[in-house]
Amino acid sequence: MLINVQAVYVIWLRDIKRFIRARSRLIGNIVQPFFFLSILGFGLGSAMFPGIPPQYRFIDFITPGIVAMAVLFSSVFSGVSVLWDKQFGFLQEVLVAPVSRLSIVVGRILGGATTALVQGFVILAIALILGVRISPFGVAGGIMFMLLLAFSAVGFGLIVASQMEDFHGFQLVMNLIIFPLFFLSSALFPLEGLPYWLKMIAYLNPLTYGVDGLRHSLVGFSSIPVWIDLSVLLTFCMLMVSIGSYLFGRSEA
């Protein structure tokens, strides 16, 4: 099944325009990570945590986690736009168009990933302003991990949105799943300080490997070998995108 490039571009451009016009969404998705970064970063700056090298501050440690938070939440909630389009008939018009559903899915995924990446870069710029030491040589690797996180989260959002009809139910399910995954991902505290049973749960969390790989790229240290981070996250990304594409392709408007 061939991908229609023009259809992909139109779907992608629509998501970008919607993102630019929804200023409240943009501000909300930036303000929350900013408060996490500034309040936790400086408030716990004098605390000592096992697993953080002495030459790094706590704000250096949590910055990759907060960037991942911005990317994750923006990507996952792109599934709301699918429910919105179902509600107002746009999805039905798109599905009956003479283009493959794969083209629609690719456009959706690229649109959600692009907006998430933009918000991740905004948080990264704020971190630089706050004095966080970011490795300039690791930015390319950081972008790669941000993209994999964004694609994974958009795919997961499509999986849930394709099976639901209610906005409130979608947000409830997302909060029920995403918040535990985020807090158990080493985004806010190192894995070395966790009890054994909780550490094992964290290692089963695919987001852990995304945050750890992002930390290795941007800050320069990690708890897990970076090749393991990349392998696990890449596998999870391919799985989420494949399942999300399949379920969206079978869904009815």
> What's the rounded mean pLDDT across residues 228-238?
93
- Dump the DSSP string for the chain: ----HHHHHHHHHHHHHHHHH-HHHHHHHHHHHHHIIIIIHHHTTT---TTS-TTS-HHHHHHHHHHHHHHHHHHHTTHHHHHHHHHHTHHHHHHTSSS-HHHHHHHHHHHHHHHHHHHHHHHHHHHHHTT----GGGHHHHHHHHHHHHHHHHHHHHHHHTT---HHHHHHHHHHHHHHHHHTTTSSS-GGGS-HHHHHHHHT-HHHHHHHHHHHHHTS--SS-HHHHHHHHHHHHHHHHHHHHHHHHH---
Q: Helix 101-129 to helix 5-21 angle, to the nearest 10 degrees? A: 40
Q: What is the pLDDT of residue 90?
A: 63
188: pLDDT strictly greater than 80: yes
Residues 72-100 have pLDDT tens digits of 887 777 777 777 776 666 666 666 666 66
Domain layout of the chain by residue ranges: 5-250
> How far from the centroid of its chain's Cα atoms is residue 125's Cα?
17
> What's the rounded mean pLDDT across residues 159-164?
77
Query: What residues have CB less than 8 Å from 155, skipping those under 6 apart?
Result: 109, 237, 239, 240, 241, 242, 243, 244, 245
227 pLDDT band, cuts 50/70/90, is very high
Residues 110-149 have pLDDT tens digits of 888 888 888 888 888 888 888 888 877 778 888 899 999 9
Residues 54 and 117 sit within 8 Å (Cβ to Cβ): no
> How far from the centroid of its chain's Cα atoms is residue 130's Cα?
22
Cα–Cα distance measured from residue 71 to residue 74, given in angstroms and rounded to the nearest whole number: 5
> What's the rounded mean pLDDT across residues 43-67?
79
Q: What is the pLDDT of residue 25?
A: 66
* pTM of the complete model beyond 0.95: no
Written as one letter, the residue type at 121 is: F
CA angle, residues 147, 5, 238, in degrees to nearest 5: 35
Query: What residues have CB less than 8 Å from 188, skipping those under 6 apart?
Result: 36, 40, 62, 65
